[in-house]
Structure 1
Amino acid sequence: MGANIGTSVTNTIVAVMQAGDRNEFRRAFAGATVHDFFNWLSVLILLPLEAATGVLYKLTHLIIKSFNIQTGEDAPDLLKVVTDPLTRSIIQLDKSVITGIATGDLEARNKSLVKRWCKTKTNMTFWNATVESCPAGAVCWVEGNQTWTEMNTTWTEYLEKCKHIFVNVDLPDLAIGLILLALSLLILCTCLILIVKLLNSMLKGQVALVIKKVLNTDFPFPFGWVTGYIAIVVGAGMTFIVQSSSVFTSAITPLVGIGVISLERAYPLTLGSNIGTTTTAILAAMASPGETLANSLQIALCHFFFNIMGIILWYPIPFMRVPIRLAKGLGNKTAKYRWFAAVYLFLCFFVLPLAVFGMSIAGWQVLVSIGVPIVTFIIIVIIINVMQSRCPRFLPKFLRNWDFLPRPLHSMAPWDKMLTSSMLFCGRYCCCCCKCSNCCRKDEETEKISKTSRKSLEMYDNPAMSTDKDTAENVRATQL
Structure 2
Amino acid sequence: MSDATPATSFDGTAIDNESLLDPAPDTLHASTSKSNVLQWIAVSILVYFLVCAVGLIGSGFKAATGDEAKEMFAFATNPFAGLVVGTVATALIQSSSTVTSIIVGLVAGGLPVSVAVPMVMGANIGTSITNTIVSLGHVREKKEFARAFSAATVHDFFNLLSVVIFLPLEMAFGFLEKIGGALAGLFVVENASMGSMNFVKAATAPVVGTAKHYALDLGDAVGGTLLIIGGVFLIFMTIHYVGKLLKHLMVGKAKEIMHSAIGKGPISGIISGTIVTVFVQSSSTTTSLMVPLAGSGAFGLKQIYPFTLGANIGTCITALLAATAVEGNANAALQIAFIHLTYNVLGVLVIYGIPFLRFAPVRAAQWLGATAAENKFVALAYILGVFFVIPGICLGISSLV
Q: Compared with structure 1, are the counterparts of its residues 56 and 18 closer, same or farther at alpha carbon in structure 2 (3 Å cutoff)?
A: same
The amino acid that maps onto 2:355 is P
The amino acid that maps onto 2:281 is Q
Q: Compared with structure 1, are the counterparts of its residues 297 and 187 closer, same or farther at alpha carbon in structure 2 (3 Å cutoff)?
A: same
Shift of 1:181: 2.3
Q: 2:352 aligns with which of 312, 315, 331?
A: 315
SS of residue paired to 1:73: coil
Query: What corresponds to 2:176 in structure 1?
Result: 56
Q: Compared with structure 1, are the counterparts of its residues 59 and 179 closer, same or farther at alpha carbon in structure 2 (3 Å cutoff)?
A: same
Query: CA contact under 8 A between 2:135 and 2:145: conserved in structure 1?
Result: yes
The amino acid that maps onto 2:127 is T
Unpaired segments ≥5 residues, structure 1? 93-163, 219-226, 364-480
Q: Compared with structure 1, are the counterparts of its residues 80 and 352 closer, same or farther at alpha carbon in structure 2 (3 Å cutoff)?
A: same
Q: 1:9 aligns with which of 129, 140, 143?
A: 129
Query: What corresponds to 2:389 in structure 1?
Result: 351
SS of residue paired to 1:254: helix
The amino acid that maps onto 2:305 is Y
Structure-2 separation of matches of 1:176 and 1:216: 39
| 1:342 has 2:392 as partner | no
Shift of 1:266: 1.0
Shift of 1:78: 1.4
Query: CA contact under 8 A between 1:245 and 1:273: conserved in structure 2?
Result: yes
| 1:186 has 2:233 as partner | yes
Query: CA contact under 8 A between 1:236 and 1:273: conserved in structure 2?
Result: yes
Equivalent residues, number: 279
| 1:166 has 2:216 as partner | yes
Q: 1:21 aligns with which of 130, 136, 141?
A: 141
SS of residue paired to 1:69: coil
Structure-2 separation of matches of 1:325 and 1:46: 21
Shift of 1:273: 0.9
Q: Deviations over 1:17-45 (max 9, x none)?
A: 11122111111111111100011111122
Query: CA contact under 8 A between 2:278 and 2:317: conserved in structure 1?
Result: yes
Task: Compare the two structures and name the one with the higher helix fraction.
Answer: 2
Query: CA contact under 8 A between 1:215 and 1:261: conserved in structure 2?
Result: no
Query: What corresponds to 1:454 in structure 2?
Result: none
Task: Choose 1 or 2 for highest CA Rg.
Answer: 1
Q: Compared with structure 1, are the counterparts of its residues 174 and 51 closer, same or farther at alpha carbon in structure 2 (3 Å cutoff)?
A: same
Q: Deviations over 1:296-322 (max 9, x none)?
A: 111111111111121122101232121
The amino acid that maps onto 2:226 is I
| 1:84 has 2:205 as partner | yes
SS of residue paired to 2:138: coil
Structure-2 separation of matches of 1:310 and 1:267: 13
Shift of 1:74: 4.5
| 1:176 has 2:207 as partner | no
Q: Compared with structure 1, are the counterparts of its residues 166 and 242 closer, same or farther at alpha carbon in structure 2 (3 Å cutoff)?
A: closer
For residues 386-425 of structure 1, what are the structure 2 equivalents within 5 Å?
Answer: none
For residues 295-334 of structure 1, what are the structure 2 equivalents within 5 Å?
Answer: 295-321=332-358, 322-334=360-372
Structure-1 separation of matches of 2:147 and 2:223: 39
Task: Give me the TM-score of the superposition, normalised by structure 1.
Answer: 0.54
Query: What corresponds to 2:245 in structure 1?
Result: 198
Shift of 1:180: 2.6
Q: Deviations over 1:423-446 (max 9, x none)?
A: xxxxxxxxxxxxxxxxxxxxxxxx
Shift of 1:215: 5.9
Of the structure 1 ranges 188-197 and 261-270, higher mean CA displacement relative to structure 2 is found in 188-197
Query: What corresponds to 1:269 in structure 2?
Result: 307
Q: Deviations over 1:40-79 (max 9, x none)?
A: 1111221222122211112211222343233313523111
Structure-1 separation of matches of 2:290 and 2:380: 21
Query: CA contact under 8 A between 1:232 and 1:268: conserved in structure 2?
Result: yes
SS of residue paired to 1:260: coil
Query: CA contact under 8 A between 2:194 and 2:321: conserved in structure 1?
Result: no
Query: CA contact under 8 A between 1:231 and 1:265: conserved in structure 2?
Result: yes
SS of residue paired to 1:79: helix
4+ residue stretches of structure 1 with deviation over 4 A?
A: 205-218
Query: CA contact under 8 A between 2:269 and 2:307: conserved in structure 1?
Result: yes
Query: CA contact under 8 A between 1:239 and 1:277: conserved in structure 2?
Result: yes
Query: What corresponds to 2:318 in structure 1?
Result: 280
Q: Compared with structure 1, are the counterparts of its residues 295 and 18 closer, same or farther at alpha carbon in structure 2 (3 Å cutoff)?
A: same
Q: Percent identity?
A: 38
Q: Compared with structure 1, are the counterparts of its residues 354 and 215 closer, same or farther at alpha carbon in structure 2 (3 Å cutoff)?
A: same
Shift of 1:262: 1.6
Structure-1 separation of matches of 2:392 and 2:263: 42
Query: What corresponds to 1:440 in structure 2?
Result: none
Shift of 1:334: 1.2
Task: Compare the two structures and name the one with the higher strand fraction.
Answer: 1
Structure-2 separation of matches of 1:243 and 1:231: 17
